[in-house]
Structure 1
């Protein structure tokens, strides 16, 4: 499909500020409605990475409408149904720009659902501003009666809250669940990490459960590693790190939680940080950066590490270790181990920075040993004294 609209990063010539827009690839004219929607994301406090992803998905929708000769504000039921099927049936362009026979890539149903969610939000935004007729947004959801409710969900005295609005254009998919790593796998990752910076990053995520955006957004002033931090104006005793949401990080890393918190760290993690500081001190360009994680081995030296840099580092580590190892797997592993070892759920919730206790449901897994112990505990076939 010819790309007419594209998501682009725009830089103001006056202030130097960055934002994402949707523009015509031929004339560079902005798509006013799509660009206004992306600006609303920034106003709501969404991260620049969210803007980037949404810009590409909205551009994809506009290109589909142009290809099918649909009015984007009034695609109709058949147009939206056709988009949903098109997303999973039409092969993606090859990453290398070269077509390899038998190697066509297709979007997963989960990826198609993500696109349809953004399209629905964009159309609802258009309805609120008078660009999209209400009849279009009425197609996006339909009444649904909940047979099963999430833990803690209040259905009302007579069950009146069981009826909700459910997305119309959404594939039913099997939840893949979260993957975690064993202690042996994490130790192997630490042993295989080629540099002190990567060892500290892996150790930090595994020991504290920080999100990767929170780790990349750390500044040197957030690292309180002494037994007492009173000299720095902090009354928290013992080594710890402060996690703060900042919208002005130069690498656009953003903490998901809007509430600041601190997370204690161990002496072993402090030692890994000390090794990393020695490695960092060998690069003069890194001396002036206040960010904790910076480029040390390829230009631009001293610039804060970005999400793509980190993704490449973990992909190299995964190839060396022979198993998947993504940053969020380390966070999930920390949470699972805390819960399995009996740490109070309120403590785990605070360490992870979750606002709702319902967010904790996905972290508690039953391992093989626990399942076997439960079955053997009620083994009626075994002769009892």
Structure 2
């Protein structure tokens, strides 16, 4: 079965949406319902990635002559292998074959399929008992992905998951950050470098910043707020307040005085020299800026690298992993531990594990 993932624009909100169409160009209703739900809480890029995972799942079901409402845990395991080695189904082991996809990519697909069924369980499209074996109860979740749709239930751990090789993308040192900032001829670009370095924000969170999110010199902080932005930027993580140095606020003020265009705009980072002046910067413009800086300085740099730099700096300075989790906007401290375990001392790691075991 060949499905098509089609990009579109919501005429009411102007936001990017994704449509899943079958060979007759009809909407695939069970997938589309979930994609529409995701559009309200995930970035367009995440929704797109999940859409391709659903295409693969539907193709797998078609090859095995399965109905999406009647699958077993073993089918999910076979799907993981199918993704790993390609379109062959006469398999029983996850070992001994050349990988076609990385473990991380396969685990994302499994997450997409698992939450797809979790959504339909909450919506009562399918029977909970039919799919509860997809998960293992391990405690009560404080914040749930489907909060507002389903009542609070025991948090569930995926039973199908490939072990991913641990790799840390690295981070920048102070000299490299200074080199990148000095290479910027424009205050806006320099502010972007220093803002990412001093806050650890995601790219979407940065481009969604409004003037009202920045405190004054008596309140050295910046708020990360979830809102609908015309440039498609989205705050993926939790809303939070991040303390910042007063020097950063001074550069922000200089930017407003000497470079910000004479237009009314709620957004901090806007078009000044190209495009619609005063419109919020598009993520593609930010990517172009970083590509230019990388060529100019010889430093391999991209926005997310500052996020790793920020977290590593805080952890090495002795800040607790739970506090870093909050500042980074991670939903769970486990995410912080998984990414930055190389800079968290064993004693604190043991304490966190014990605390989570007691909660559960």
Q: TM-score, normalised by structure 1?
A: 0.67
Tell me which residue corresponds to 2:143: none
1:320–1:259 CA distance, 2 compared to 1 (3 A): same
Contact map agreement 1:21 1:30 (CA 8 A) in 2: no
Which one of 34, 38, 43 corresponds to residue 41 of structure 1?
38
Which one of 76, 85, 90 corresponds to residue 89 of structure 1?
85
- The alpha carbon displacement at 1:75 in A equals 4.4
Paired residues in the alignment total 319
1:255–1:127 CA distance, 2 compared to 1 (3 A): closer
Contact map agreement 1:58 1:118 (CA 8 A) in 2: yes
1:48–1:139 CA distance, 2 compared to 1 (3 A): same
Tell me which residue corresponds to 1:11: 10
Tell me which residue corresponds to 2:357: none
1:261–1:321 CA distance, 2 compared to 1 (3 A): same
1:89–1:247 CA distance, 2 compared to 1 (3 A): same
Tell me which residue corresponds to 2:356: none
Instruction: Trace 1:134-173 onto structure 2 (pairs within 5 A).
Output: 137-138=131-132, 140-141=134-135, 166-173=157-164
Contact map agreement 1:180 1:333 (CA 8 A) in 2: yes
Range that drifts further, 19-28 or 344-353: 344-353
- The alpha carbon displacement at 1:34 in A equals 1.4
Tell me which residue corresponds to 1:324: 300
Counterpart Cα distance in 2 of 1:127 and 1:20: 23
1:365–1:191 CA distance, 2 compared to 1 (3 A): farther
CA deviation digits over 1:179-210, x for unaligned, max 9?
A: 22111221222233454322211111112333
Counterpart Cα distance in 1 of 2:321 and 2:121: 42
Counterpart Cα distance in 2 of 1:133 and 1:353: 33
- The alpha carbon displacement at 1:32 in A equals 1.5
Contact map agreement 1:212 1:328 (CA 8 A) in 2: yes
1:329–1:137 CA distance, 2 compared to 1 (3 A): same
- The alpha carbon displacement at 1:109 in A equals 1.3
CA deviation digits over 1:99-140, x for unaligned, max 9?
A: xxxxxx943110111011101111233344454455752553
Tell me which residue corresponds to 1:263: 243
- The alpha carbon displacement at 1:359 in A equals 5.9
Counterpart Cα distance in 2 of 1:246 and 1:191: 31
Counterpart Cα distance in 1 of 2:101 and 2:253: 40
Runs of at least 5 residues in structure 1 that lack an aligned partner in the other structure: 92-104, 145-163, 228-236, 371-385
- The alpha carbon displacement at 1:355 in A equals 7.0
Counterpart Cα distance in 1 of 2:273 and 2:100: 35
Counterpart Cα distance in 2 of 1:66 and 1:342: 52
Contact map agreement 1:242 1:261 (CA 8 A) in 2: yes
Tell me which residue corresponds to 1:149: none
Tell me which residue corresponds to 1:340: 316
CA RMSD, 1 decimal: 3.9
CA deviation digits over 1:201-220, x for unaligned, max 9?
A: 11111123333232111112
Q: Which has the larger radius of gyration?
A: 1
Q: TM-score, normalised by structure 2?
A: 0.71
Instruction: Trace 1:1-385 onto structure 2 (pairs within 5 A).
Output: 3-12=2-11, 15-16=12-13, 18=15, 20-24=17-21, 26-42=23-39, 45-66=41-62, 69-76=65-72, 79-90=75-86, 106-132=100-126, 137-138=131-132, 140-141=134-135, 166-177=157-168, 179-193=170-184, 195-225=186-216, 227=217, 237=218, 240-267=220-247, 270-271=250-251, 274-275=254-255, 278-281=258-261, 287-342=263-318, 351-353=327-329, 361=337, 362-363=339-340, 365-366=342-343
Range that drifts further, 49-58 or 352-361: 352-361
1:250–1:181 CA distance, 2 compared to 1 (3 A): same
1:187–1:38 CA distance, 2 compared to 1 (3 A): same
Counterpart Cα distance in 1 of 2:21 and 2:49: 17
